[in-house]
Amino acid sequence: MFWLWLTLGIVVLTTANAEHPFWIQEIEELPDLSYSAVSRNTENVYRLPENVVPLNYDIYIDLYFAERQDRPFSYDGLEFITIQAREENVTNVILHSNVDQINSVSLLSENEQLFPLDTDEPFTLVPQYHFLRLNLQQALDLGSNYTLIINYTSTMNEGPMKRGLWRGWYIDDEGVERIYAGTHFQPYNARQAFPCWDEPLFKAVFKIHLSKPSSYSGTFSNTGVESTDILPNNRTQDNFLETPIMSSYLVTFLVSETFQVIASNTSLTPPVRIIGRSNTAGLGDHALDLTVKMTEHFNEYFQIPYHTLHPNLLNDHIASPDWASAATENWGMVSYRELYMIIDPRETIMSVEHYAATLVSHELAHKWFGNLITCFWWSNTWINEGFASYFGYMSAHQMFPKYDLHEHFNTRYIHNSLSFDSGQSTVPLNHDVNTPAQVTGHFGTISYSKGAAFLKMIEDMITYETFRKACQYFLLDNPYAATDQYDLYNAFARAIDEDGTLSEYSNFNFTDYYRIWVNEAGYPLLTVEVDYENGGMTLTQERFFLSPSTSSTGQIYPIPITYATESGPNFSNLKPSQMMTTQRLVIPKEAADEWVIFNLQQHGHYRVNYDRKTWNLISQALLDDPESIHYLNRAQIVNDVFALMRAQKLTYDVGFDILKFLSKEINYHVWNPAISGYTWLRNRLRYVSESQATFDSYILDYMSQVINVLGYDPDSNESVTTTLTRQEIMHFACNLGHEGCRQNSRNKFIEMRDNDAWVDPRIRRHVYIAGVRHGGQQDFEFLLNRFRNSNFANDQLEMLRGLGATRDPQLLTRYVELTLENAVRSQDKATSFNYALLGNPENANTVLQFVKNRINDIREAYVQDAPPNPVHTVLSNLASYLDEAGLVEYEEWLRSTQSGTPQFNSAISAINSARNNINWGRDNADMILSAVRGSASTVTLSSFLLTAILLFAFVF
Ligand SMILES: *[C@@H]1O[C@H](CO)[C@@H](O)[C@H](O)[C@H]1NC(C)=O
Ligand SMILES: *[C@@H]1O[C@H](CO)[C@@H](O)[C@H](O)[C@H]1NC(C)=O
Ligand SMILES: *[C@@H]1O[C@H](CO)[C@@H](O)[C@H](O)[C@H]1NC(C)=O
Ligand SMILES: [Zn+2]
């Protein structure tokens, strides 16, 4: 799955996981309360006992839409579950259920006799844990089959956000609004459609029977239809073929009137099909190309062809207008948010097309890593998600090299992980989760980004072929089973042992390496000191924390060491020269005045700091001969320098001195972390407006070269990465008030408005924004109208972003109120709210009035009880955009009207963080500006220098 959510702030604006074309951090990170608010005790009360297991489910669901007038959008269920006791003396059978009502429960023994249940209380519901418990009069026989029969009724959720079985909407090719039913069960929502053992380890065979009004002929599931029964009252029942043995969260279906196959390739077995609403017919070819090629790739890579997984599995890919995450890997039928499937180069922005390639690859990889083998419990989510994320980039690169995904892996995953994993609230890859909130929390940066980065680091160490062999062993040893970190370890150990690919490292123990990286949080900072007189380099390590006040932990991480020097500038040998397993290590080197750079292409999950002289040599080389240093290491330097400055491991003077080379830089990977770093500082200078303006003018100076080289108009044959560079640079430049960007974009917008001119989607983002930001009501109405009439979900989202940039409070109020309507889909609501905050600094005050006036409507429309709570996210984000007066007003309102609401504490704590940021900006503005000016002589005593001095005074 890809849960692209708005974790407090890390945007991932629609984001999941996912995540997505918006992974530049546009909104500040705040302390992630969703984690810390949940108690981390290891109580297992949410887990099912394993004394009884399901083997087989036969599930009949009768779906009713508006035609059932007494209970519209409801369903009746009847299921027959074959179960077995795995222990003696079992007198309770406990499974999950989260349906509205259980009408009856009975148990049959093998000879079809009723098995006696407690006469007073045959079953008990424990709603807190979603448990349904059968109370038996006597123990089950070990190893015998019993049939559990449950009759129940329930209601579809409105919209996709709460997952489970829900209803969505779309407009068909005749302009009619239609309702469809969909399911989204990952990770714990199958229990909402049918009572079941809803944990990944309880794998079973599922046979689904769906009845619905006969006009709902667009019905799809994991497998094909085996037979169809005509029922009375114009109803039809589709009986689907049985599934392979699999986890409950992978079951899915979609029931609609007019969804249809919009593209297919029948030369593969099973055929690959793209399915969508009827007016996307003909628009699925791009998605088809992605899915076909990635299927072929994985067939070859794993040496377990898809069609051998199970004869009944389909290879369908559904474009769903409503979908809570970016996509979900239901076996046989993957569901995607429609914007990633319906791609037209004349209408779709490049970052969406780029992301779609990795998304399809991610979901297809799950068919092996996740579906064939599955994490035993969500504590191991990273095994599913880490591999899918790794393959999402590395495998997609092999089939679609034009996207350079193997290099975008760094900004997408490594930078993300290095950022999150240096906070105090981070967790190890493998860690206990129990409650639904904890499970949801583990579908986050650590599982996806650190998981993927950890795997990439292993691949470099043990070689591509050994890594691939380990993957195959893992799959071959555990098919249709649930696995944990030890199974994965065994596969690696076996492949490494056979190939001897780690034998060159003396005193290196892979068991320790794996244990530490998987089970300990955080990562190291490597400090390099070069002895320029006598030769040799001394490496030391400590755990890296972003917060300067965090004290050291003494943890030692095994670090794969790679480096290049001015006289040996080989940046492509990614196999480590040695493994550092101690706190200190000396590497021999001849004495010479030359730069050294560690962590080639930033593939290792760690940061690097150097002694002052080495930084000077690097800094000089970056100015004199930047191409002598690989662009992914230039990117690393930018990414590390911003983090080191924040952590007070490097002064801003030295840091900005190193960053001077950006004035000549034109590479995407280097600019991406630079924009993140500048944005972090700009957000703190927001309320020291003169300083921010000065800071902005310096940034714009640094950007003038890259803006000139890129130009405002894309070339027909430019590289994808160039297009992405322009998109990010121009978006940032326009936001900073770059005059050329503003005028050029505004003119293009007017051409579109007045003459229906086509604007290349590769530049649409900033054209929409500048057009509305620097325009008036006419421009707003034009774009709103265009939004309402568009058939492209991806272009629509860009238009929302543009509309959110209006400076007119009345228009902005209309915009945010639009998010309460159907027109802005459930999964886009919180994102659209954020667009209003991102649009202009002064927008936050209008948004605050909207929040105060419409909080109850927001709670309902944004679905506050959806995981992860979108209302919690937007209320916290709002705080980071308000000025002091706004914060006072917001806090007063929260305290007088909202205390006791689920979002109260997190909003108050976001207000405190916002105040800290504002204060930090005030205290450090002069110091930062003087550092940017490069006038090291006029350093003002910043607050933190002052604090440091005071601390020393006390200590000594
Ligand atoms: C099951 O119950 C029987 C009879 O009370 C007892 O002898 C036996 O030890 C129990 N088995 C287990 C595994 O507890
Ligand atoms: C129990 O059910 C499973 C799955 O349906 C079946 O394979 C097995 O043969 C059954 N065992 C007995 C003893 O009937
Ligand atoms: C590696 O370390 C583990 C304990 O962490 C130990 O059990 C194992 O024997 C070591 N392997 C070798 C080859 O030294
Ligand atoms: Zn996934």
The residue whose CB lies within 8 Å of the most ligand 2 atoms, and thus the one to mutate among 84, 86, 144, 145, is: 145
Q: Is any ligand 3 atom within 6 A of the Cβ of residue 511?
A: yes
- Tell me how far the alpha carbon of residue 203 lies from the centroid of ligand 2, in angstroms: 15
Quote the pLDDT of residue 953. 34
How far does the centroid of ligand 1 lie from the alpha carbon of residue 89, in Å? 6
pLDDT of residue 954: 34
Q: Distance between CA atoms of 662 and 134, rounded to whole angstroms? A: 67
Asked whether the domain spanning 524-611 has the same topology as the one spanning 48-363, the reply is yes
Does any ligand 2 atom lie closer than 6 A to the CB of residue 37? no
- Supply the pLDDT for residue 424: 85
Given a contact cutoff of 8 angstroms between Cβ atoms, the answer to whether 387 and 301 are in contact is: no
Closest alpha carbon to 818 in 798, 837, 839, 804:
804
Containing 952, the helix (H) or strand (E) segment is helix 943-955
Cβ–ligand 2 contact at 53 (below 6 Å): no
Q: How high is the pLDDT of residue 552?
A: 85
Rounded to the nearest angstrom, the distance between the alpha carbon of 579 and the centre of ligand 3 is 16
Say yes or no: CB of residue 88 within 6 Å of ligand 1: yes
Ligand 1 atom 4 nearest Cα = 89
Distance 115 CA to ligand 1 centre (A): 20
> Which residue has the least CA distance to atom 12 on ligand 3?
509
**515 Cα nearest atom in ligand 3:** 5
- DSSP secondary-structure letter at 7? B
Got the DSSP string for 571-587? ----S-SEEE-SSEEEE
Residue ranges of the chain with pLDDT lower than 70?
1-43, 935-956
* pTM over cut 0.75: yes
Pocket test for ligand 3, best of 490, 502, 512 (most atoms within 8 A of CB): 512
pLDDT digits (tens, 9 = 90+) for 486-498: 999 999 999 999 9
Q: Could you give the CA distance from residue 476 to residue 309 in angstroms, rounded to a whole number?
A: 12
Q: Closest Cα partner for 713 from 732, 726, 700?
A: 726
Distance, CA of 425 to CA of 415 (rounded, Å): 17
Give how far Cα 202 sits from Cα of 196, 242, 376, 759, 902, Å.
9, 16, 9, 52, 33
**Residue 87 alpha carbon, nearest atom of ligand 1:** 13
Question: What's the CA-to-centroid distance between 462 and ligand 3, angstroms?
Answer: 18
Q: Is the CB of 89 under 6 A from ligand 1?
A: yes
The minimum-distance atom of ligand 3 relative to the CA of 510 is 1
Q: What is the pLDDT of residue 411?
A: 97
Q: Which tokens hold the place of 22?
A: 């918006």
Ligand 3 in reach of 519 Cβ (< 6 A)? no
So what's the architecture of 524-611 in CATH?
Sandwich (2.60)
Other beta carbons less than 10 A from residue 842's beta carbon: 13
**Three-state SS at 458:** helix
109 lines ligand 2 (CB under 6 A): no
Q: Tell me if 145 CB under 6 Å of ligand 2.
A: yes
Quick one: which ligand is closest to 489's CA? 3
Q: What is the CATH number of domain 5-39+377-519?
A: 1.10.390.10
In our burial notation (b when 16+ CB lie closer than 10 A, e otherwise), range 429-459 reads bbbbbbbbbbbbbbbbbbbbbbbbbbbbbbb
What is the 564 CA–ligand 4 centroid distance (Å)?
Answer: 35
The domain limits of the chain are 5-39+377-519, 48-363, 524-611, 685-955
Q: Find the 527 Cα to ligand 1 centroid distance in Å.
A: 61
- Ligand 4 center to 362 CA (angstroms): 6
Could you say which ligand is closest to the alpha carbon of residue 205? 2
Please, are residues 438 and 412 in contact by the beta-carbon 8 Å criterion? Answer: no
The pLDDT score that the predictor gives to residue 906 is 94
Ligand found nearest the CA of 187: 4
Top CATH class, 685-955: mainly alpha
Please provide the CATH number assigned to the domain covering 48-363: 2.60.40.1730
